[in-house]
Amino acid sequence: MGDAVELEAGGRTVRLSSPDKMFFPERGFTKLDLARYYLAVGPGILRALRERPTTLERYPEGVNGENFFQKRAPKNMPDWIPTAHITFPSGRSADEMCPTEVGAVVWAAQFGTLTFHPWPVRRDDVDHPDELRLDLDPQPGTDYDDAARAAHELRAVLDEFGGLRGFPKTSGGRGLHVFVPIEPRWTFTQVRRAAIAVGREMERRMPDQVTIKWWKEERGRRIFVDYNQTARDRTIASAYSVRPRPHAPVSAPLRWDEVGVAHPQDFDLATMPARFAELGDVHADMDDHRYSLESLLDLARRDEHDHGLGDLPYPPEYPKMPGEPRRVQPSRARKEKPPTAP
């Protein structure tokens, strides 16, 4: 595995053991390659993670080995990496690491962290998201190009309802993410409601191409707007995170003129450093903006008042939420016998 090496990361010295351990055999990328990648894109991934409670997706033996999600801050974490106390839907809580410098990212890479999953909050206010995150998820029969077409319509919706600016990125797979920086004054429930309103508006505009149906049996060959990615404790891979696939793709921030032109396979552990060296972080100004959700929440209220469109199902591990419809898939509901009259 080779002798341990020490890397300089933003004024910190981070020790990397077994630097030659193979993490991506198909491409020949080692643990040292992973750590050097995160150094190369350091300002970008730090912008995406700074002050955010972050779950670590770890592959200690490389992409072909066992993996796990680490929500609680590791016991051996250096004291210079701060934490935040967060509460899960179950009522349980934990302290999660909150990167504030590039050294924290490299330290996590030492322990096999490929992907970083930050919460949409900062550690000084963990109950009020400062990002509206919209996940365009291709369903069977659709692909990235379909997601890209939906993303351009999403851009128009955001602009129409509040003059919101979204920041697009590849998921590292077939999908697209669009993040909107918002004022941190709404709860997770309200932000989720805004995401549902966006999805419904997109569904009205592109009924044959976009769906907000939670149950897979109802989605068809359409792009699913996964509104539940805005629920508490649901996270999305950060910009610049390496994804756990054999070819080492990364979640790549894009300019809007690249959406539908560039493709996910263009961005990986080998190609992103060169792009970053040339262009820098194309989302560098994201934190300079803070938008209001009032127009989207007004849309949600009109949907409910005028069309009877209330809440939608939560993920299965969540407790029953106020106002939530029955959490049962339609095909099962049809088979259930109606109650017998007394």
As a whole number of Å, the end-to-end CA separation of the chain is: 73
Q: Which residue do the tokens 């049962």 mark? A: 328
For the stretch 103-137, pLDDT in tens is: 999 999 999 999 999 999 999 999 999 999 999 99
Residue extent(s) of CATH 3.90.920.10 domains in the chain: 5-126, 131-233+289-307
- Torsion 267-273-274-277 (CA) sign: positive
Is the overall model pTM greater than 0.85, yes or no? yes
Q: Is the pLDDT of residue 339 over 70?
A: no
CATH superfamily for 5-126 is DNA primase, PRIM domain (3.90.920.10)
CATH number for the domain formed by residue range(s) 131-233+289-307: 3.90.920.10
Question: What is residue 108's predicted lDDT score, i.e. its pLDDT?
Answer: 98
Q: Confidence class of residue 148 from pLDDT cuts 50, 70 and 90?
A: very high
Among the ranges given (45-49, 285-289, 317-321), the one the predictor scored with the smallest mean pLDDT: 317-321
Do 139 and 222 contact (CB within 8 A), yes or no?
yes
Q: How many CB atoms lie within 10 A of CB 307?
A: 9
Q: Which residue do the tokens 């390659």 mark? A: 33
Q: Give the three-class secondary structure for 97.
A: strand
Q: How many CB atoms lie within 10 A of CB 295?
A: 17
